[in-house]
């Protein structure tokens, strides 16, 4: 799992490495252009019900920490999907489960719904 630290929050969000690698690229592009966007996800795991939404904007400190030292191979189509979502009022809504291979498929299904 990778970790997303946002603002002065000391407890990071845990997000699969491959998914967070894609979010990092979209966030860096949007924030470099001074474009803010909404990022949301359901709390995964046992007993952690609910969801979190954060307003990503350039003035708020942001840090990505990855479990792997090697960068993930990125999927250009998935990057476009996330970038397009970031321009909507709904923003990027992340969905994942325990299977890394299903990250792209489950997210695409949620976007299509």
Q: How far is CA 81 from CA 31, 67, 110, in A?
A: 17, 24, 11
| CA atoms of 41 and 21, how far apart (whole Å) | 15
pLDDT of residue 48: 64
**Per-residue pLDDT tens over the stretch 2-54:** 999 999 999 999 999 999 999 999 999 999 999 999 999 988 766 667 899 99
CA contacts within 13 A on the Cβ side of 41 = 21
Q: Would you say the pTM of this structure is higher than 0.85? A: no
């Amino acid at each position: 799992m990778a970790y997303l630290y946002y603002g002065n929050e000391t407890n990071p969000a845990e997000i699969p490495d491959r998914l967070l690698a894609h979010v990092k690229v979209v966030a860096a592009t949007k924030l470099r252009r001074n474009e803010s966007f909404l990022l949301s996800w359901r709390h995964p795991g046992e007993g952690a019900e609910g969801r979190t939404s954060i307003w990503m904007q350039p003035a708020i400190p942001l840090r990505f920490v990855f479990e792997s030292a090697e960068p993930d191979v990125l999927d250009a189509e998935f990057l476009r999907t996330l970038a397009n979502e970031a321009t909507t009022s709904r923003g990027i809504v992340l969905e994942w489960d325990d299977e890394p291979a299903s990250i792209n498929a489950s997210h695409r299904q949620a976007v299509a719904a």
